[in-house]
Amino acid sequence: MDEVHDPAEATQNTAPQPAGAVKIACRNVWKVYGPKPEGYFPDGSGRTDDPGALIQRLRNDGCIPAAADVSFEVRAGEIFVIMGLSGSGKSTIVRCLSRLVEPTAGEILLDGVDLLKMDAKALTDVRRHKMGMVFQNFGLMPHLTVLENVAFPLRVQGVDESARRKKALEMIALVGLEGREQAFPRQLSGGQQQRVGIARSLCVDPELWFLDEPFSALDPLIRRQMQDEFVRLQTMLHKTIVFITHDFLEALKIADRIAIMKDGRVVQIGSPSEIVLNPATEYVREFTEDVPMVRVITVAEVMERGDATPGSDGGSDGGSDGGPTVAPDMTLEAILPHFATADAPLRVVDADGRRVGRVTPQGVLKALAEHGERLEEA
């Protein structure tokens, strides 16, 4: 194995935490495959001074650290994406969150309660009521119809026939599969099957929604369509989401925050633009290489702050400077057309309608040039 770099400082950089309480958190979670891996973690906490050295020792002893010293927090209502190449431990870590895979060491806190200390019954309860999961290969029951598949989680709970039918039909409508209720999975296309998987995972109204590469098995066109639909669903549902993908562009498209994994470790956590603009390691930078900067850099990062004359003319479109306004979280790609018609600065107005700054064409060009340069020299 190659040398294990130490990204300890890089992991928890100063990402702006979105609002909302912490819903689920991983603390120093390890999953080690091999003979008797618990022996390496005497107190079971997974905390160690030098994780790199421990990983090396595990590998030398013939163990596979599929997830190593993973820590992150997901806040309520957030879309948290875990991104990494295949084999980097993404599936392992998301399965640790529901204990489909039993972590070797560490803590999983769900609403502050340690999931790893729960007995089987409590865990079953949590899975039945709080969690939903979508799988890369759909995981549909081949012997059940679409309707029966979607209603399956409710059947397991002992919900009576008519109630679960009603709920399942609702979910089927939500994912746009009306009319296929009596079809069997093998009679559906991949995209349709994954819609069934999504409907099933939502049928119990989970607070937490895990998706393990849900669109990776689909054709590119269908994949894009499903991504759009996923974003649409989330604006309605406001779930707390852990979304796994190996596709960096997909991560950028849907994530509030992204964690990047390599060889079982998290190498960087941050918002999409943070990751693109300040990649922590060479590995991360390589992902960002082909990303068009205009899609990632937001107005907030290039605007000139201040300039605020609160109360004087905030709010309305037709302010004293005239011309259009933009929001801080818009990407440069979205505001560029404005400069095509006029090169006057654009006013930046936040969600409450207050004016928080302005963007000039020069500022935009400067930011693009800076990042372009940085990328070249790296």
Partner 1 sequence: MTTAVDDDALAPAVAGRIDPVLGVWLAVVGFGLVCVLLRETAPWIAAFPDAWVLPVAAWTNAVMDVVVAHTDFLFRAVASALEWPMVALRDLLVWAPWPATIAVFAAVAHRAGGWKLALFTLVTLMYMVVVGYWEESMNTLALVGVSVPLSVAIGFAMGVLAFRSARAKRVVMPLLDLMQTVPAFAYLIPILLLFGFGPVVGLIASAIYAAPPMVRNTIVGLERVPPAVLESAAMNGCTKRQRFWWVEVPSALPQIMVGVNQTTMAALSMVIIAAIIGGFGDIGWEVLSTMRKAQFGQSLLSGVVIALMAMIMDRISAGFADRSRNADRTEDAPGAPFYRRRRHLLAAAAGFVLGVALGQVAPLFQDWPKALVVYPAEPLNQMVEYILVEWSAQIDAVKNAVLFFLMLPLRIGLEKAVSPFTFGFELTAPMIAGYWIAAALGAAALAWRGRVYGAIWLIVGAAVLYFGVSGLPWPAFMAAVVALAWTAGGLRTAGFALGALLFILLTGAWEPMTRSVYLCGLAVAICFALGGALGVWAAHNDRVSATLRPINDTLQTMPQFVILIPVLMLFQVGEFSALIAVVLYAIVPPIRYVEHGLRNVSPEAVEAARQMGCTPAQILFTVKLPLALPVIMLGLNQTIMYGLAMLVIAALVGTKGLGQQVFLALGKADMGMGLVAGLSIALVAMVADRILQAWSRRRSAALGLDAGDAA
Ligand X SMILES: Nc1ncnc2c1ncn2[C@@H]1O[C@H](COP(=O)(O)OP(=O)(O)O)[C@@H](O)[C@H]1O
Contacts to ligand X by CB under 6 A: 33, 64, 66, 84, 86-92
Nearest residue (CB) to Mg ion, 91 versus 288: 91
Integer angstrom CA distances of residue 116 from 67, 103, 126, 165? 16, 8, 12, 34
Angle subtended by helix axes 190-202 and 220-237, to nearest 10:
20
Nearest residue (CB) to Mg ion, 91 versus 98: 91
Pairs from 314-320 (Cβ < 8 Å, separation ≥ 24): 314/349, 314/353, 314/354, 314/355, 315/349, 315/353, 315/354, 319/347, 319/355
Please, what is the minimum distance in Å from the beta carbon of residue 135 to ligand X? Answer: 11
Nearest residue (CB) to partner 1, 31 versus 265: 31
Please, what is the minimum distance in Å from the beta carbon of residue 154 to ligand X? Answer: 29
Pairs from 308-311 (Cβ < 8 Å, separation ≥ 24): 308/354, 308/355, 308/356, 308/357, 309/355, 310/354, 310/355
Please, what is the minimum distance in Å from the beta carbon of residue 101 to ligand X? Answer: 8
Question: In the window 288-347, what residues touch partner 1 (CB under 8 A)?
Answer: none
Site pattern 130..149 for partner 1 (x: CB under 8 A): -xxx-xxxxxxxxxxx----
Could you tell me which residues come within 8 angstroms of residue 18 by beta carbon, excluding any fewer than 6 positions away? 75, 77, 78, 256, 257
Q: Taking CB under 8 A as the rule, does residue 200 contact partner 1?
A: yes
Stretch that binds Mg ion, among 83-91, 219-227, 275-283, 299-307 (CB under 5 A): 83-91
In angstroms, rounded to a whole number, what is the distance separating the alpha carbons of residues 62 and 33? 9
Please, what is the minimum distance in Å from the beta carbon of residue 198 to ligand X? Answer: 19
Q: Taking CB under 8 A as the rule, does residue 273 contact partner 1?
A: no
Nearest residue (CB) to Mg ion, 91 versus 273: 91
Chain residues binding partner 1 by CB under 8 A are 95, 98, 100, 124-125, 127-129, 131-133, 135-145, 152-153, 155-157, 182, 184, 197, 200-201, 204
